[in-house]
Amino acid sequence: MSLAGAAEVAELRRRLDEAEETLRAIREGEVDALVVRGGEAEQVFHLVGGSESYRAFMESMDLGAAALDEDRRLLYANAALAALLGESAEGLAQGGLQDALGPRAWAALEPLLALAAEGRQSAQVVLPTRGGQRHLVVTVAELPLAFSTGSALTFTDVTERIEAEAAAESERIGGAIMASANEAVVVCDRDGVVTHANAAVLELLPASPIGQRFEAAFRLTFAAGAGPMQADDLVVIALAGGQLRSVEASLALPKGARDLLVSAAPLRQAGGVAAGCIVTLLDLTERKALEKRQALLMRELDHRMKNMLTLVQSISTRTLSTARDLRDFGDRFTQRLAALAATQNLLAEKAWQEVTLEELVAAELAPYVAPRSARIRLEGLGVQVSRDAAVSLGLVFHELVTNAVKYGALSNGTGRVMVDGKPLPEGGLEVCWKETGGPAVRPPEKRGFGQTVIARGLGQAGAGSAEVEFAQGGVICCMRLAADSLV
């Protein structure tokens, strides 16, 4: 509690004590005159006994006051209490305090009345009114009467303080919610001027918008589906009591436009009056970019699937045309599909980005010999190639490796394979596969699928060209990769 609040409570308690003591003294005849401070002057009341004396004093009190007999019947209530309860003095006297307070408030008072003999009792009660509700602090004390004991009650209206505390708490909670929100949150007054903005707004804009009109701080362009809407229309619609939800807009910024999802709603005070509006702006820029990328990937996947099916069909047809029998076809076709799968796996591991020539060669050599074996030398192959070129090169290297394992340098224990890459003067790269130390090589009697893949595969993919030489010392294959197949 603040110092001001504590001081207010202390003053209320002092006044309550004074009122209760005065009521008691009047009833017991201990005083014959009272000095009452009211307005700008002090008034002196002479008490000559009788009921009019203490009634005159009670009417001078700022607090609502009442006296009850031992049966809880109303003996007297001052005008301040009647006004506080929205009753006339006559109506309050006739209906009684219980009817004026209502069952809920009276139920809160009954325990206080029962315990008054043990000392002063206090509680806060809520009194329903036409415009809302009123908060009262009721204090009850024992009141000695001529032949019995009644109760003295005072009523202090603390509605303004309670509402102020509630408003402060509401603002604190609202501020905490704004601070924790992921989206940008802006509060504007009735003139459309920004009064509050959370941290997300300060991250979105180059400078704080507080003190600026909303449309000046946020240069928004709305999507075609929103019609001819401007930024200030958000504020106008919200202040009129309307709501806008999830309207797409673009925010112009020095560092580039941002895609936003904008919503607006009125900010209402007690009574439902719009005191301003609240606008939220959800940044969709990254999500929009991701959606575009996903759409592109879906189109590319569709394109790749069609190409892959065409390639598998071609491999099947060519393998069948050169196979000796069905078993031979099955073995060769399975191996070539495995080579194709190895390249696809390599691309998948790279998130379908580019791969290097060395990675392609190593993937095809892996089932037969370690790429870092003394029998293998790879040089100048750190160059990345495009995805389409990688598929064709993967098949070419598969045919070269398979031929070397069956008939060439990798078919014995002494042969070696060297693959090196050298830049071409006109751009692109020359990659040469050279085998040494293997069995003597004889040119094949007929052109098989492997030779067709090597000779035509790169050209058909637009990746370059290849030539194969069946030299006696070992197979030599030189490929010229086009510059646009390299990355």
Q: What is the pLDDT at residue 36?
A: 43
332/468 same-domain check? yes
Spatial contact of 155 and 123, defined as CB atoms under 8 Å apart: no
383/350 same-domain check? yes
Residue 9 lies in a domain: no
Q: What is the pLDDT at residue 291?
A: 79
Residue 108 lies in a domain: yes
Residue 349 lies in a domain: yes
Q: What is the pLDDT at residue 146?
A: 73
Count of domains forming the chain: 3
98/233 same-domain check? no
132/244 same-domain check? no
Q: What is the pLDDT at residue 222?
A: 85
Q: How far is CA 466 from the centre of its chain?
A: 55
Of 412, 401, 408, 392, the C-alpha closest to 462 is 392
Per-residue pLDDT, averaged over 63-77, amounts to 88
Picking from 162, 192, 222, the residue at the C-terminal end of a domain is 162
Report d(CA 267, CA 273) in Å as an integer: 8
Q: What is the pLDDT at residue 440?
A: 85
Of 383, 395, 375, 386, the C-alpha closest to 358 is 383
Report d(CA 371, CA 360) in Å as an integer: 11
Q: What is the pLDDT at residue 421?
A: 92
Spatial contact of 206 and 254, defined as CB atoms under 8 Å apart: yes
Report d(CA 83, CA 307) in Å as an integer: 89
Lowest mean pLDDT among 42-56, 91-105, 437-451, 467-481: 42-56
pLDDT class for 436, splitting at 50, 70, 90? Answer: very high
- Tell me the pLDDT tens digit for each residue of 278-299: 898 888 888 888 878 787 767 7
Whether residue 198 has pLDDT greater than 90: no
Per-residue pLDDT, averaged over 408-412, amounts to 87
Q: What is the pLDDT at residue 467?
A: 82
Residue 171 lies in a domain: no
Whether residue 105 has pLDDT greater than 70: yes
119/57 same-domain check? yes
- Tell me the pLDDT tens digit for each residue of 208-226: 888 999 999 899 888 766 5
Q: Residue 276 contacts by C-beta under 8 Å, 6 or more apart in sequence? A: 187, 188, 189, 190, 195, 239, 266, 267
Whether residue 458 has pLDDT greater than 90: no
Q: What is the pLDDT at residue 47?
A: 40
188/100 same-domain check? no
Spatial contact of 437 and 415, defined as CB atoms under 8 Å apart: yes
Tokens 């909670």 -> residue: 173
Whether residue 42 has pLDDT greater than 50: no
- Secondary structure class of 207 (helix, strand, coil): coil
Tokens 């928004």 -> residue: 220
Lowest mean pLDDT among 133-137, 242-246, 271-275, 467-471: 271-275
pLDDT class for 416, splitting at 50, 70, 90? Answer: very high
Picking from 284, 304, 337, the residue at the C-terminal end of a domain is 284
350/396 same-domain check? yes
If you average pLDDT over every residue of the chain, what do you get?
78
209/60 same-domain check? no
Residue 94 lies in a domain: yes
pLDDT class for 434, splitting at 50, 70, 90? Answer: very high
Residue 232 lies in a domain: yes
Q: What is the pLDDT at residue 180?
A: 60
199: domain CATH number is 3.30.450.20
CB atoms within 10 A of CB 109: 21
Report d(CA 65, CA 141) in Å as an integer: 12
pLDDT class for 38, splitting at 50, 70, 90? Answer: very low
Picking from 284, 317, 339, the residue at the C-terminal end of a domain is 284
229/361 same-domain check? no
Which segment, 30-39, 227-236, 373-382, 448-457, is predicted with the most confidence on average?
373-382
Q: Residue 253 sits in which domain range?
A: 181-284
Q: Which residue has the higher pLDDT, 453 or 267?
A: 267
Residue 312 lies in a domain: no
Residue 98 lies in a domain: yes
144/187 same-domain check? no
260/186 same-domain check? yes
Q: What is the pLDDT at residue 463?
A: 60
- Tell me the pLDDT tens digit for each residue of 291-326: 787 877 677 667 657 656 765 676 677 677 777 888
% pLDDT > 90, the chain = 6
280/244 same-domain check? yes
Q: What is the pLDDT at residue 379?
A: 92
- Tell me the pLDDT tens digit for each residue of 141-164: 988 877 788 888 999 898 888 878
Whether residue 377 has pLDDT greater than 60: yes
Whether residue 231 has pLDDT greater than 70: yes
474: domain CATH number is 3.30.565.10
Tokens 């509050």 -> residue: 196
Q: Which residue has the higher pLDDT, 439 or 14?
A: 439
